[in-house]
Amino acid sequence: MKITAAEALVRCLENEQVEVVFGYPGGAILPVYDMLYDSGMRHVLARHEQGAVHAADGYARVSGRVGVCMATSGPGATNLVTGIANAYMDSVPMVLFTGQVPTTMVGTDSFQEVDITGISMPVTKHNYLIKEARQLPQIIKNAFHIASTGRPGPVLIDIPKDVAESEIYFEYPSQVKLWGYSPTYRGHPQKINEAVSAIQQSKRPVIYAGGGILNSGALEDLRNFAEIINAPVTNTFMGLSSFSGSHPLYLGMLGLHGSRYANRAISECDLLIALGARFDDRVTGKIAEFAPHAKVIHADIDPAEIGKNVLVDIPIVGDVKRILRAFNARLEPRENKEWVETVQQWKKDYPVTYKQDDNMLKPQYVIEKIYEHTGGNATIATDVGQHQMWVAQFYSFNRPRGLVSSGGLGCMGFGLPSAMGAQIGIPGEQVALVTSEGSFQMTMQEMATIVEQNLPVKIFILNNDSLGMVRQLQEVYCNKRYMATNLKFVPDFEVFARAYGVSAFSASSNEEVDKVVPEAFNTPGPVVVNCKVHQDENVTPMVLAGKGISNAIDV
Complex with other proteins: residue 150 or 438, whichever CB lies closer: 150
Q: Least distance (Å) from other proteins to the CB of residue 180?
A: 4
With binding defined as CB under 8 A, does residue 126 bind other proteins?
Answer: yes
Residues 6+ away with beta carbon under 8 Å from 108: none
List the interface residues with other proteins, window 263-302 (CB under 8 A).
302
With binding defined as CB under 8 A, does residue 304 bind other proteins?
Answer: yes
Task: Give the residue among 63, 13, 62 at the shortest CA–CA distance from 36.
Answer: 13
Give the CA angle between residues 420, 422, 428 to the nearest 5°.
95
CA atoms of 86 and 205, how far apart (whole Å): 32
Of the candidates 16, 49, 113, 537, the residue annotated as catalytic is: 49
Q: Least distance (Å) from other proteins to the CB of residue 178?
A: 5
Of the candidates 14, 112, 138, 494, the residue annotated as catalytic is: 112
Complex with other proteins: residue 2 or 131, whichever CB lies closer: 131
Cα 207 to Cα 79, 184, 411: the distances in Å are: 39, 22, 28
**Residue 100 catalytic?**
no
Q: Least distance (Å) from other proteins to the CB of residue 316?
A: 14
**Residue 112 catalytic?**
yes
CA atoms of 325 and 299, how far apart (whole Å): 13
Among 2, 75, 104, 118, binds other proteins (CB under 8 A): 118
Instruction: Note if the bond before 541 is cis, omega within 30 degrees.
Output: yes
Q: Coil, strand or helix: which one is 85?
A: helix
Q: How far apart are the first and last CA of the chain?
A: 69
Q: Which stretch binds other proteins (CB under 8 A): 102-110, 116-124, 234-242, 499-507?
A: 116-124
Q: Which stretch binds other proteins (CB under 8 A): 52-60, 126-134, 255-263, 358-366?
A: 126-134
N residues, the chain? 555
Of the candidates 2, 111, 132, 372, the residue annotated as catalytic is: 111
Q: Least distance (Å) from other proteins to the CB of residue 179?
A: 5
Of the candidates 412, 447, 469, 542, the residue annotated as catalytic is: 469
List the interface residues with other proteins, window 342-381 (CB under 8 A).
none
Complex with other proteins: residue 186 or 203, whichever CB lies closer: 186
3-state helix, strand, coil split of the chain in percent (to 5) is 40, 20, 40
Q: Least distance (Å) from other proteins to the CB of residue 146?
A: 6
* Strands of 126-129's sheet in order across: 42-45, 20-23, 67-71, 94-100, 154-160, 126-129
**Residue 469 catalytic?**
yes
**Residue 89 catalytic?**
no
- Judge contact between 17 and 150, C-beta under 8 A: no
Q: Least distance (Å) from other proteins to the CB of residue 118?
A: 7
Complex with other proteins: residue 77 or 422, whichever CB lies closer: 77
Binding mask 169-188 for other proteins (x = CB under 8 A): ------xxxxxxxxxxxx--
Q: Which residues of 428-438 are buried (b: 16+ CB within 10 A; e: fewer)?
A: eebbbbbbbbb
With binding defined as CB under 8 A, does residue 106 bind other proteins?
Answer: no
Complex with other proteins: residue 47 or 322, whichever CB lies closer: 322
Complex with other proteins: residue 175 or 359, whichever CB lies closer: 175
Query: What are the residues facing 2 on neighbouring strands?
Result: 169
Size of the site for other proteins (CB under 8 A): 28
Among 17, 109, 122, 171, binds other proteins (CB under 8 A): 122
Of the candidates 16, 89, 144, 161, the residue annotated as catalytic is: 161
Task: Give the residue among 319, 296, 314 at the shortest CA–CA distance from 185.
Answer: 319
Complex with other proteins: residue 181 or 521, whichever CB lies closer: 181
- Judge contact between 95 and 57, C-beta under 8 A: no
Complex with other proteins: residue 317 or 527, whichever CB lies closer: 317
With binding defined as CB under 8 A, does residue 307 bind other proteins?
Answer: yes
Q: Which long-range contacts (CB under 8 A, 24 or more apart) does 343-352 make?
A: 343/232, 343/251, 343/261, 343/265, 344/248, 346/260, 346/261, 346/264, 346/265, 347/251, 347/261, 349/261, 350/259, 350/260, 350/261, 350/264, 352/252, 352/259, 352/393, 352/394
Q: Least distance (Å) from other proteins to the CB of residue 185?
A: 5
**Residue 161 catalytic?**
yes
Q: Coil, strand or helix: which one is 179?
A: coil
Q: How far is CA 134 from the centre of its chain?
A: 35
Q: Least distance (Å) from other proteins to the CB of residue 383?
A: 27
| DSSP secondary structure letters along 282-326 | HHHBSGGGSSTT-EEEEEES-GGGTTTSS--SEEEES-HHHHHHH
Q: Which stretch binds other proteins (CB under 8 A): 106-114, 125-133, 357-365, 468-476?
A: 125-133
CA atoms of 388 and 411, how far apart (whole Å): 11
Complex with other proteins: residue 149 or 439, whichever CB lies closer: 149
Q: Least distance (Å) from other proteins to the CB of residue 166?
A: 18
Cα 303 to Cα 82, 192, 205, 277: the distances in Å are: 26, 15, 23, 12
Q: Which stretch binds other proteins (CB under 8 A): 4-12, 228-236, 282-290, 303-311?
A: 303-311
Residues 6+ away with beta carbon under 8 Å from 229: 199, 205, 331, 333, 334, 336
The alpha helices in 331-432, defined as continuous H runs, are 337-349, 363-374, 386-394, 415-425
Complex with other proteins: residue 129 or 209, whichever CB lies closer: 129
Binding mask 308-327 for other proteins (x = CB under 8 A): x-------------------
Cα 37 to Cα 23, 33, 150, 408, 453: the distances in Å are: 13, 6, 34, 36, 18
With binding defined as CB under 8 A, does residue 125 bind other proteins?
Answer: yes
Q: Least distance (Å) from other proteins to the CB of residue 158?
A: 11
Binding mask 138-157 for other proteins (x = CB under 8 A): --------x--x--------
Contact positions vs other proteins (CB under 8 A): 117-118, 121-122, 125-126, 129, 131, 146, 149, 175-186, 302-304, 306-308
Catalytic residues: 49, 111-112, 161, 469
